[in-house]
Amino acid sequence: MAQHDYDCVVVGAGVEGSATGYHLTRTGHKTLLLEQFTLGHSKGSSHGQSRITRYTYRQIHYANMMPECFQTWERLGREVGTELYRKTGLLAVNGPPHQDYTLRSESLRVMGKPCELPTVGEICQRHPGFSFGPEHKAFVDPNGGVLRADSCLHALQTMFLKQGGVVKENEEVLEIVPGDPVLIVTSKGRYTAKSVVLTPGAWASKMLRPLGIDPPLKVTQLKVCYCPERQPGAFGNYPCFYYLSEKYETCGLPCDDHSGLFKVYNDHGDELQGPDQQNQAQHSHQIETLMSFIREHVPGLIPEPSLVEKCLYTSTPDKDIILDMHPDHPNIVIGCGFSGHGFKLAPAVGRILSELATGTTPSYDISPMSLKRFPNNGRLAAKV
């Protein structure tokens, strides 16, 4: 084989690509991980100190993946000697007609995982920084908690290297030429591989269209706010929360990295024309909506953010992710459109993508995540 030949090249070293590389090298495959920016950059969707994780899921195909995700984060933490997860519990609160409450709590029952069913009055008594009226329903996933996101990403990359993987950062992919082997042309070199896995995040459309693939993807930018506690330390033992009503869809989680602050964000952002436009986007209405939610439902926080961060979501219309092989080139594997699910699912996603890249039957049913759900298998529409 030529000097730069690999069993697999993974394009994009965010959490999905890094998890894929981790699984590939763990099973003995010679793997190159390419990143157009520096590792751990803040331009995409994988940066930041924390993410919510949980067992509960509306979609049972994701719920089925969560046990492996919890197990992998625990094993990975042992491998690198760093605690990657803090158990806080996840509080889910749902306004009428309570469909989300029913689906999510049922997923815990189906998996045989514990589910607590307090009244909203009991919740507000236990955690007086919250305020929910009697029209709400709620449950607690006691195993939910906080992933230390930066540490998780670093741990995946550390083990990838320890297991023999090769990383090249600040190296943009310019062209992917289908074939056997597939050719990857970058700003610094040319590499051939038996297969390539594309996990380009918000840059997916830019990378896939030259390959004749154009699934419907929308890039949005979220504003993540860190709000101060009215009484310092009052939220120290609070759970993560997910709130959904006809008015709001909001998440919150404790901050180990910012003492006295609580992290909150709306689950809907402002649409961008592309990831490179994010610095020009204006987001004041996102923050206004979020502060309105805090005034109504989290009076224990001051509705004035002390710190604001940005994060990109790349979403499909049905909010299901895309994990599939190129319909015409099966050694080109695609993982994109993670729709806000990506970080918590990364260990299972990495396994699936590594299996597709090596011709192994996936460990999970990925039919809900197939390109086949889109017109013409997600192919680029022919010009008339």
Q: What is the DSSP string of 335-376?
A: EE--TT-HHHHHHHHHHHHHHHHTTPPPSS--GGG-GGGSGG
Cα–Cα distance, 246 to 102 (Å, whole number): 16
Q: What is the per-residue pLDDT for 279?
A: 59
pLDDT digits 0-9 by tens, 67-116: 999 999 999 999 999 999 999 999 999 999 999 999 999 999 999 999 99
> What average pLDDT does the chain have?
94
Cα–Cα distance, 31 to 6 (Å, whole number): 6
H or E element that contains 295: helix 284-297
Cα–Cα distance, 124 to 237 (Å, whole number): 14
Q: What is the per-residue pLDDT for 292?
A: 97
Q: What is the per-residue pLDDT for 381?
A: 83
Confidence check: pLDDT of 323 > 80: yes
Cα–Cα distance, 344 to 314 (Å, whole number): 15
Confidence check: pLDDT of 281 > 60: no
Structure-block tokens of residue 43: 């331009």
**159 to each of 17, 146, 155, how far by Cα in Å?**
13, 21, 6
pLDDT higher at 382 or 160: 160
The predicted model gives 11-23 an average pLDDT of: 98
Q: What is the per-residue pLDDT for 269?
A: 85
Type of residue found at 315: S
Q: What is the per-residue pLDDT for 284?
A: 67
Phi then psi for 218, rounded to 5 degrees? Answer: -120, 130
Confidence bin at 257 (pLDDT 50/70/90): confident
Residue with tokens 């999970």: 364
The predicted model gives 276-298 an average pLDDT of: 82
Confidence bin at 26 (pLDDT 50/70/90): very high
Cα–Cα distance, 231 to 238 (Å, whole number): 13
Cα–Cα distance, 155 to 78 (Å, whole number): 10
H or E element that contains 176: strand 173-177
Confidence bin at 38 (pLDDT 50/70/90): very high
Alpha helix (H) ranges present in the chain? 15-26, 60-63, 66-80, 99-111, 120-126, 149-162, 204-208, 284-297, 342-357
Quickly count: other Cβ atoms within 10 Å of residue 253's Cβ.
26
Q: What is the per-residue pLDDT for 2?
A: 43
pLDDT digits 0-9 by tens, 169-205: 999 999 999 999 999 999 999 999 999 999 999 999 9
Cα–Cα distance, 40 to 123 (Å, whole number): 37
- Contacts for 153 with CB less than 8 Å, ≥ 6 apart: 14, 15, 18, 40, 46, 47
The answer to whether 344 touches 300, Cβ cutoff 8 Å, is no
Cis peptide upstream of residue 200 (ω within 30 degrees of 0): no
